[in-house]
Structure formats: structure tokens, C-alpha cells
């Protein structure tokens, strides 16, 4: 503690030469003047003494005809004297700390805990729409409303908590635990989705009324949910089965050689704004020159990696204009083929293709492709579903 006080109030390193310098050391000990770091020197010695005792050495040194010369100075007072006339170097950090303390009600940073990147982006958009971002002042009422908006807009979240502590907004949450799927227990028959030849049946519940190798028509019952016992009393169950069959279907799709679509022209407009304390400042804006698709992003303003309570809102606008697209016959054929395949898998997601035959014709500059597909798939569908 004593060393720290001496460093704070200052110490002086001096050189004492000539005269009776040995008597000077003895006189300092008798007078209570603390000397430390004594080192012999040519014709004298060097030592350190606290600043408040340094002036008392002069009359004692004159008494013993010793010359004193200060060599080094250390301590807070000497450091402040070095910056005398440049108080801004000291007042600047002090003012900054004072302003930082006064701006604790503003959001300096937003931290997410327990959420993945997709959920963080979604929650960030909701908070931004509620006016919560870096540089805005928040209240408990606003945080409560924002929490309710996040929960109502995000189905994948189990819970969300918004905690604001000294400039930091911590958004904690956890994904929702999916509820177990409850299958309906209604006695509904399974019918054929199309005309087909049955390959095999795997009945888990219900009563099979068709067998492998039989041909069925669309809408015909494959697995019944009701069966009568010996006494002609109906026994109900929930029909559930996989009925794999081979079938053939045709899909027809049209693809014009020319169509109009919107494409970017390459011209970009940008708007940059600073938002803080409920106010905004536009730095530049070139989005008013044309119209198109816009994309807005926001991020905290950082200086050398240090986040300030200011939000930088950047809006990027890409100009788009309608253009006529002309396809070759080969490209049109590929588009039409893709549309037919999409229709097939939309109706039978688990289809396994066996053979595919195509017929095409041209009508008024439009390619009409008819695709006949032989495939195997599960054709069991709930009746009326």
C-alpha cells in the first residue's frame, strides 16, 4: 500500500556527489527522510526519495557540502504535468464513460441464446418491425409486446424471453417440442387412387378385400374398415395399409416458345440510414431514380470492432424490367418434360418409373408434350380424402 501511495504522489531519483555524503545518509535516517534504492556512484551515491521529502534534502545537503541533482521522476503528478495544456486527452475518455453510463437505457447489443441461425434471423426481423434495434430505448411494455409478437409469429419456438440489462438485450428461447401425431381412429376405407394391377399388400389395420395380382379400378375399395362377425355384427377398425401396384398414366403439359418474365437490368440503388434514439439520419439515397425489388438489412454501427448504440439500415434496390424469353425447341421440351414429371410426383410421391414414352405436337408456337408413364407406387388413399 505504501509503494502505491508513493507512486501516486510521485518519487524522485537523485544523484548526490561531493562533500560528506556519508553524513548526509546518516542525517536522513535520523530526520526520518526515507531513502530507498541506494546505489554507490562516483564520488557519491544514487537513491530514490518520495516527492514530499525531496525539498527537505536541500538544506541538509548544503550543510554537508553535497551537490544534489534530480535524474528521474515517476508518479501520477508528473504524468499529469506532462499532459498539462492537453486536458482533452484525459477528459475525452472521462466524458465517454459518462455518456456511456447515461445511455444505459439504449440498446447497445442484441444477443441470442438457444436459437439457431434461422430462428435468430426470424426473431430479429420481428424485433426490428417492433422498433427494437441497436440505438433504440426500450421499456418493459415494449419488451412484453415484442415477446408476444415473436411467439405469435414463430410456430417453431417453445418459449422466448427478452431481458434487457445495462444496454444489452438478451433474447433467450428454445425450439418447441413437436406434439406426437395422433392418427384418426375413424373407420374409413382405403380405395384405389387409379386403375392399376396389385403387386402386394401390407395391411396393418383393417380387412383386405383385394389380393395381389388382381386388377382394380379407381375408387374401388382395397382395405375395408368394417367387417361382420359370425353373428352379422359389424366390427370397425381404422384401416391402414400399403398397397403397391403397377399402373400407367398419361400427363400432358404445354410450353410456349416465347414468354415474358422480369429480369434485373444491372442497375442498383442504395439507401443508407443511421437510426438512434428514435431518430434517423439518411446518409445517401439513390433508390428514387427507379423501381424494382428491394432488400433491407440492418446491423449495429461498429468502430474498431466496438458496437455503438446506433443501427445502420441499408436498403438495396435492383431494377427489373420485363423481357421476352425465346426458347429453343430442345429447351421447351425439357421444360414440358419437367412439368409432366412434377405432376406425376405430386400425385404419387413414391413412384418408381419403369418406362416413359412421349408424344409431342405444336399448336400456335406452343409445344404440347404428352408423357405416358408406366410405374409402380402405393395407390391406397382414404375414401373421401
SS3 category, 19: coil
SS3 category, 128: helix
The whole-angstrom distance between residue 109's C-alpha and the CA centroid of its chain comes to 13
Rounded to an integer, the average pLDDT of 11-32 is: 84
Strands 240-256 and 109-113: unpaired
Q: For residue 340, is pLDDT > 90?
A: yes
pLDDT score of 125: 86
Facing residues of 255 across strands? Answer: 367
pLDDT score of 6: 58
Q: Strands of 196-205's sheet, edge to edge?
A: 215-216, 196-205, 240-256, 366-378, 352-363
Most confidently modeled of 99-113, 195-209, 316-330, 342-356?
A: 342-356
Distances (CA, A) of 62 to 32, 49, 59, 67, 73: 18, 17, 5, 8, 22
Q: What is the DSSP letter of 75?
A: S
Cell of 188: 374409413
Closest CA to 311 of 298, 320, 321: 298
pLDDT score of 86: 65
pLDDT digits (tens, 9 = 90+) for 264-313: 887 888 888 888 877 888 888 888 777 777 888 888 887 776 677 788 88
Would the CA dihedral through 336, 341, 346, 347 be positive or negative?
positive
| CA distance linking residue 123 with residue 149, whole number of Å | 9
pLDDT score of 103: 64
Lowest mean pLDDT among 150-159, 174-183, 347-356: 174-183
Give the global pTM: 0.53
Q: For residue 8, is pLDDT > 90?
A: no
Q: What does the mean pLDDT of the chain come to? A: 82
Rounded to an integer, the average pLDDT of 208-237 is: 80
Most confidently modeled of 16-25, 135-144, 195-204, 297-306?
A: 195-204
The Cα angle at residue 2 between residues 68 and 16, in degrees rounded to 5:
10
Q: For residue 4, is pLDDT > 60?
A: no
| CA distance linking residue 76 with residue 6, whole number of Å | 9
pLDDT score of 1: 44
pLDDT score of 274: 87
pLDDT score of 83: 63
Lowest mean pLDDT among 35-44, 191-200, 228-237, 292-301: 228-237
| CA distance linking residue 147 with residue 86, whole number of Å | 49
pLDDT digits (tens, 9 = 90+) for 187-202: 788 888 899 999 998 8
Closest CA to 273 of 283, 287, 264, 262: 283
Rounded to an integer, the average pLDDT of 10-25 is: 83
Amino acid at each position: 500500500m505504501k509503494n502505491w501511495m508513493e507512486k501516486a504522489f510521485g518519487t524522485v531519483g537523485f544523484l548526490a556527489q561531493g562533500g560528506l555524503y556519508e553524513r548526509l545518509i546518516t542525517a536522513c535516517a535520523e530526520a526520518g527522510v526515507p531513502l530507498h534504492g541506494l546505489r554507490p556512484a562516483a564520488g557519491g551515491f544514487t537513491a530514490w526519495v518520495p516527492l514530499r521529502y525531496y525539498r527537505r534534502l536541500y538544506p541538509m545537503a548544503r550543510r554537508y557540502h553535497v551537490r544534489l541533482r534530480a535524474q528521474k521522476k515517476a508518479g501520477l503528478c508528473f504524468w499529469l504535468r506532462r499532459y498539462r495544456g492537453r486536458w482533452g486527452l484525459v477528459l475525452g475518455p472521462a466524458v465517454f464513460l459518462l455518456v456511456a453510463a447515461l445511455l444505459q437505457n439504449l440498446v447497445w447489443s442484441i444477443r441470442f441464446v438457444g436459437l439457431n441461425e434461422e430462428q435468430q434471423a426470424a426473431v430479429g426481423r420481428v424485433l426490428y418491425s417492433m422498433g427494437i434495434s441497436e440505438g433504440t430505448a426500450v421499456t418493459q411494455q415494449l419488451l412484453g409486446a415484442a415477446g408476444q409478437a415473436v411467439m405469435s409469429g414463430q410456430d417453431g419456438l417453445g418459449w422466448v424471453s427478452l431481458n434487457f440489462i445495462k444496454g444489452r438485450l438478451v433474447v433467450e428461447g428454445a425450439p418447441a417440442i413437436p406434439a406426437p401425431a395422433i392418427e384418426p381412429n375413424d373407420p374409413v376405407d382405403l380405395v384405389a387412387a387409379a386403375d392399376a394391377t396389385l403387386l402386394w399388400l401390407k395391411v396393418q389395420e383393417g380387412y383386405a378385400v383385394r389380393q395381389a395380382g388382381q386388377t382394380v379400378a379407381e375408387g374401388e375399395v382395397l382395405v375395408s374398415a368394417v367387417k361382420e362377425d359370425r353373428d352379422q355384427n359389424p366390427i370397425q377398425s381404422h384401416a391402414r395399409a400399403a398397397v403397391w401396384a403397377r399402373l400407367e398414366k398419361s400427363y400432358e403439359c404445354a410450353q410456349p416458345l416465347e414468354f415474358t418474365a422480369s429480369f434485373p437490368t444491372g442497375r442498383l440503388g442504395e439507401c443508407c440510414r443511421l437510426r438512434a434514439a428514435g431518430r434517423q439520419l439518411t446518409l445517401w439515397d439513390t433508390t428514387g431514380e427507379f423501381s424494382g425489388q428491394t432488400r433491407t438489412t440492418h446491423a449495429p454501427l461498429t468502430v474498431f470492432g466496438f458496437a455503438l448504440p446506433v443501427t445502420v439500415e441499408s436498403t438495396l434496390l435492383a431494377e427489373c424490367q420485363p423481357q421476352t424469353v425465346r426458347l429453343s425447341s430442345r429447351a421447351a421440351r425439357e421444360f414440358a418434360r419437367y412439368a409432366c414429371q412434377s405432376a406425376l410426383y405430386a400425385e404419387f410421391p413414391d413412384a418408381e418409373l419403369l418406362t416413359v414414352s412421349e408424344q409431342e405436337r405444336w399448336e400456335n408456337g406452343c409445344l404440347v408434350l404428352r408423357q405416358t408413364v408406366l410405374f409402380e407406387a402405393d395407390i391406397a388413399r382414404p375414401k373421401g380424402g
